[in-house]
Each structure stands twice: as C-alpha cells, then as structure tokens.
Chains A and B, each alone.
Chain A
C-alpha cells in the first residue's frame, strides 16, 4: 500500500543569473514496510529529493502526497506537525543533542511528537526501543561518551520512538566503518518491518543495498532505474 507519493516533482535553484533544475519531474511511490534506497552520483538530486519528500524544503512544481494531503499545499506549521508526529529522521552525523542523555534524547522526541503520557509509560517505551537497538545499557550516557556506531543507534532509536509512518535516512552509514554500517542498516531494515514503517534512505555504499527492498537510481535530476 502506498504511503508517500511524489508526482512530477521539480526543483530549481537560482544560481547567479541562471536557473538550475536539480529535479526534473520525479515520480516515486514509497510503500508500507519497504526500505527504498536512493542511489546515484553526487549532484544527481537524491538528497534534494529526500528532503523534499520529508517536508524540509519546498518544491518548485509537483505534488508530495502523504495520506490525503499534498505537503506543498500545507502551511509550514502543518508540515512541522506532520514531521514531528509522522516522520522520523536519521542524519549522516547522528546530530544528537550534546547535553542530553540517551534517555533524554528519546524523551525529548516524544515531547516534540506531542506524545503525552505518564512518566512511567514514557520510560517503558524508551526502554523497549533502546532494547531493540541494543542500547538499553547506555540509558544515562551522554553522546560524548558513545562510539560512532552507538550514536547512530541512538539516532535510529530517537527517529522511531514516536512510531513514525516514514523514516528518512540521509546517508546514515556515511560516518561509520563497514561493520557498524552493516549493523545500522540491518537495524533500520528490521525496524521498518517490525514497526510497519516506510523507509527512504540515501546511500553511496553499494554494500548497504543488501538491506533494502527497492533501489531507485538517480542521474541528473531524474530517476533512471527503479
């Protein structure tokens, strides 16, 4: 079943006097329980496509359909709400908040997503997610004391604590070594299935494609092979 649909998405940037089109009418459908990988050379438009799909930047033309809503038609506050409640993000660098413990990172995300609940519920939920990513033993650790792989696991936990419908992962393994990269992708794949999420990831690493259901290759702002 389709969860996010991109129709004829175009994005142009003004560069000096010239207008540069980085997305040239992209059509893409993301389905429930599937991990879709965007691959392609640098500058092919894959990161731009991911951020447009995630409501992090406006498109020039086209439609991004989530549920029965077209994201470009919504106000920035409505898009923020969708991002907070229904989308999860894993970035290239984990981008954890440096002054929050692992537990607090997840608790903060629950607050952002307006998951009002009693403290005990929150704690149970956090423990449950951290168990799944294998980080429950580092509940009170600060990001500065975590390894790169551990940080990325916590970032994954933060991205899914509010049970988003779609997980956006922008090169989540770029800063990790091969073993940790595999573990992270394995984790994303497994969580996508178990939470019935939809995942859209950008990757340069072909080894990571073993963990995805659908590969979309981009070149010069267009999908060349899906």
Chain B
C-alpha cells in the first residue's frame, strides 16, 4: 500500500523527497566545507598517525616557544627508534616574478613520515601549483639569503591555512637562528618523558592558535544545521502522516492492524530518506572530486555515513511519533470526521 500511494501521488512524494535531498545535501556540503577548513588549518598534523607530541615544559603550550634540549632529544630517539623531532615556523616564499606566498616552513629529523630534503631544496604542498609554481623553480625568502629549488610537491600538507614547505634542518636553523627542535613526536601513546610535556594529537591540535576557536565555530554551525535539518525531517514526516489520520482511522475501522499501518509509515519514510540520502551523498562525494584545490572541501565517507545515520534516525523518530497519533485515533472519530 505504501508503494501504491507513492506511485499514485508521485508529485507529492517527489516534493518531499526533493526537500529531504536538498536539506541533506546542504548539510553534507557545509560539513565538507567545515571539515575542509579544518584540514586546511592543520592537515599536516591530522595526517600524522595517533601518537604523542612533546614540547618543553616552559613552552606555555605553544610550539613556537618550545625548544627541545639536544641531549634530551638524543636520549629519546635512542630509546624510541620511531620517534622524531620537527619544527614549524611561519614565513614566506617569493617566486622569480615576485609572487609572494605565505608558507609554514617545516624541518625534521630522519623519519618515514616526512620526505628528506637536501640543503637549498624545498618540497611544497601541491596547492602552490595553482599559483604557477612548478618543479625546478627558484624561490627566495626574506628570511633566507640563498634560494630554494622546488624539487617536488606533496598533497594535502597544510598548516595554519598555509602550504607547508619542507626544508633541510641546516637551512631552517639558519633562517630562524635556532639550534633546537620544537617538538618530538612518538607513535607511542601515553609515554611520559621527564622534563617534557606530553600531548595527544587532539590536545596538540588545540594548542595551535586559532584552531580551537575556529573549530568551535565550525562545529557549532554544523551541529546547528544537523539539529535544524533533523527537526525539519521529523516535522515533514510527522505532517505527512498526520494529514492522513482520517484515512488511517477508516482502515482501523475496517480491521487493519495498527502494526501494518506503522509498517506503511516506516516503509515510506525509509524509501524516501534512503533515496534522498544516497543521491545527496553521491553528489557531495562527486563534488569532492571536482572541487578546485583552492576550495577547502573535505568530506570523508565516514562523516557522510554518520550524518546519514543521524538523518535516518531522526526521520524514523518523526514518523514513529506520528504513528503514535495514529495508534491513539478512534476509528469511530475517523468515520464521523475523516476523509479517506
């Protein structure tokens, strides 16, 4: 019966389906953009596996103020062969045509996570390709006396909304007049090292200036959208069924089981929601493939599935609440007032 009603009232169900599709698409796209902005801010750190980040105790939870004693670094790396140290500083690179780009300079000890770079060379995040920079270009920096030759590009390595520039330790030390690394990273979790302050990945992310404030704002937007969309979903399914209370009452008078009416409501909700969610998930994922590199858009499949489950559950609740109204309706009242 559910399918027959949908077939007969194609326009009505198409409109409801389109609304569900548009609301979910909007939520997916906004989530993708929020995630994208988050990635754009700290994809360098997010791409690293879960582990522990260490900064010096006097760093005041800021990596720019952290300095790891070289002896402590040697001891740590001796004890944990997978540990490595790295430093990050904001700066700028200029092309030969005076096109200046803000970058986050990164240098590290030997590790499989970051590509090794020789002195005078730089590896850049691939988003800089869109600025016309290519392999073999010579780039200068106000902080560096010589030039860097672009030897490669690497995908999705951003920090503080800037492209990451991987440089050699010697060049980094020369540019920023330092001999010490800022951070030690170890894939081990919950390992304490005396004299150093340990952070989980999420704790470390929250020490990055602007990241927490930005994330709170973005999460607020996304959750508001999810709550409002969820409520709209619920209200649509509730209204759709409440309008038919008279007909359901007549069917109850004829002897139809309330359980069969619930099945009818749920199957319509399920079909509409699934079709609309699949369509919006496909479009939002396709958009991810074709979105320009300069647009911060990142929507993992897991997020799409999580949001879809939330929408499905909310739609189910909305239709179930209307089902309870139907359960309560007296067949007699429906006969006297209802229109089947």
Q: Which residues of A contact B (CB under 8 A)?
A: 51, 56-57, 80-81, 83-85, 87, 89, 91-100, 104, 108-109, 112-113, 142, 158, 170
B251: Cβ under 8 A from any A Cβ: yes
A80 CA to B1 CA in the complex, in Å?
Answer: 20
Contact of A96 among B5, B257, B340 (CB under 8 A): B340
B318: Cβ under 8 A from any A Cβ: no
Task: Tell me if B255 and A83 are in contact (CB < 8 A).
Answer: yes
Task: Tell me if B4 and A99 are in contact (CB < 8 A).
Answer: yes
> Which chain B residues border A84 with CB–CB below 8 Å?
254-256
> Which chain B residues border A94 with CB–CB below 8 Å?
340
> Which chain B residues border A142 with CB–CB below 8 Å?
8
Shortest distance from the beta carbon of B124 to any chain A beta carbon, whole Å: 62
Interface string of B243-267 (1 = CB under 8 A from A): 0000100111111110000000000
Shortest distance from the beta carbon of B58 to any chain A beta carbon, whole Å: 74
17 contacts across the A-B interface (CB closer than 8 A) = A51-B332, A51-B335, A56-B335, A80-B257, A83-B253, A84-B255, A87-B255, A89-B253, A91-B335, A93-B340, A95-B250, A95-B338, A97-B250, A98-B8, A99-B7, A112-B251, A170-B335
Task: Tell me if B332 and A56 are in contact (CB < 8 A).
Answer: yes
Contact of B335 among A83, A95, A98, A99 (CB under 8 A): A95
Task: Tell me if B9 and A93 are in contact (CB < 8 A).
Answer: no
Task: Tell me if A81 and B339 are in contact (CB < 8 A).
Answer: no
When C-beta atoms are compared, the residue in chain A nearest to B5 turns out to be A99
Task: Tell me if B340 and A99 are in contact (CB < 8 A).
Answer: no
Which chain B residues in 142-195 approach chain A with CB under 8 Å?
none
> Which chain A residues border B247 with CB–CB below 8 Å?
97-98
When C-beta atoms are compared, the residue in chain A nearest to B338 turns out to be A95
Task: Tell me if B255 and A85 are in contact (CB < 8 A).
Answer: yes
Task: Tell me if B9 and A99 are in contact (CB < 8 A).
Answer: yes
Query: What's the tally of chain B residues with a CB closer than 8 Å to chain A?
Result: 22
Interface string of B98-115 (1 = CB under 8 A from A): 000000000000000000
> Which chain A residues border B335 with CB–CB below 8 Å?
51, 56, 91-92, 95, 170
Most chain B CB within a 10 A radius of its CB, from A89, A96, A99: A99
A85 CA to B255 CA in the complex, in Å?
Answer: 8
Known: A56-B332, A95-B340, A98-B340. A112 touches B255 (CB 8 A): yes
- With contacts A84-B255, A97-B251 known, what are 9 further pairs, Cβ within 8 A? A57-B332, A80-B252, A84-B256, A87-B255, A98-B247, A99-B5, A104-B4, A112-B254, A142-B8
Task: Tell me if A97 and B340 are in contact (CB < 8 A).
Answer: yes
> Which chain A residues border B5 with CB–CB below 8 Å?
99
Shortest distance from the beta carbon of A55 to any chain B beta carbon, whole Å: 9
> Which chain A residues border B256 with CB–CB below 8 Å?
84, 112
> Which chain A residues border B330 with CB–CB below 8 Å?
57
Task: Tell me if A56 and B331 are in contact (CB < 8 A).
Answer: yes
Task: Tell me if B4 and A89 are in contact (CB < 8 A).
Answer: no
A87 CA to B335 CA in the complex, in Å?
Answer: 15
A180 CA to B340 CA in the complex, in Å?
Answer: 21
A122 CA to B18 CA in the complex, in Å?
Answer: 37
Pairs A-B, 8 closest by C-beta atoms? A84-B255, A99-B8, A95-B340, A83-B255, A99-B5, A95-B250, A56-B332, A112-B255
A94 CA to B252 CA in the complex, in Å?
Answer: 15
When C-beta atoms are compared, the residue in chain A nearest to B246 turns out to be A95
When C-beta atoms are compared, the residue in chain B nearest to A77 turns out to be B257
